[in-house]
Amino acid sequence: MLEVRDLHVRYRDVEAVHGVDFHVATGEIVGIVGPNGAGKSSSLKAICGLVPASQGRVSFQAEDITGEAPERIVRRGVALVPEGRHIFKTLTVAENLLLGTTVNPDADVDEVLERFPILRDRYRAQADGLSGGEAQQLAIARALLSKPRLLILDEPSFGLAPKMIDFVYELLDELRQSGLTMLLVEQAATRTIAFSDRCVVLASGLQRAAGTREELERDSSVLDAYLGVERLPEQPQAK
């Protein structure tokens, strides 16, 4: 569904991303992990057209979207839940959700509210009164209203309490079961690697490793040097 080849991102004289290569197959969850300043968010922004790629190619469903305007990329079926949520705090929850229907006027808001009951409770409230967890739910709900083929999430657990992080990942697992394709960027590497089908490890703008959990576990030097752990925790047993 998504193919990124030799992606470079430059901010004036500073290159933040140095030749990243990965792909996301239909129905797959791919994670991008790494420390602060690794180039994770810059890579996402280039994929979504928010910053230009100085070199390389981004393809979505076998069509080149490199350098396309963000609104055109959204209309193709790519939705971004940005780092920090970026909801419109001066608008109500209802008005924020309405913005999510811009590219999909037939979107069923009630269906989304069934998945996020707290947003139904706060529907007429101004968004600046939401907690961090509620605001994250609003950001995800707004993205889902565009009926994306690919959902991209940038640091969805950032700043959230542990119970809310669990809730967000339970939600993402439900979306996985529905067949939604996702690209997930997180600094919380161990959880992301456990959750994703495959992961790409970035550090200092360079791609250091890529593979499944099992493949990454085989190289303890990668885990230690770039993720700060010697080994990954045991995966929870399926219920």
96-119: pLDDT as tens digits: 999 989 888 888 999 999 999 999
Q: Given this model, what pLDDT does residue 229 score?
A: 60
| Rounded CA separation 152/183 (Å) | 5
CA 17 to chain centre: 17
CATH of the domain spanning 2-77+148-227, picked from 3.40.190.10, 1.10.3720.10, 3.40.50.300, 3.90.660.20: 3.40.50.300
Q: Given this model, what pLDDT does residue 237 score?
A: 44
pTM of the model as a whole: 0.89
Annotated domain spans of the chain? 2-77+148-227, 86-147
For residues 64-89, average pLDDT: 91
145-182: pLDDT as tens digits: 999 999 999 999 888 888 989 989 999 999 999 999 99
Q: pLDDT category, 41, cuts 50, 70, 90?
A: very high
Q: pLDDT category, 194, cuts 50, 70, 90?
A: confident
Q: Given this model, what pLDDT does residue 53 score?
A: 96
Q: Given this model, what pLDDT does residue 234 score?
A: 58
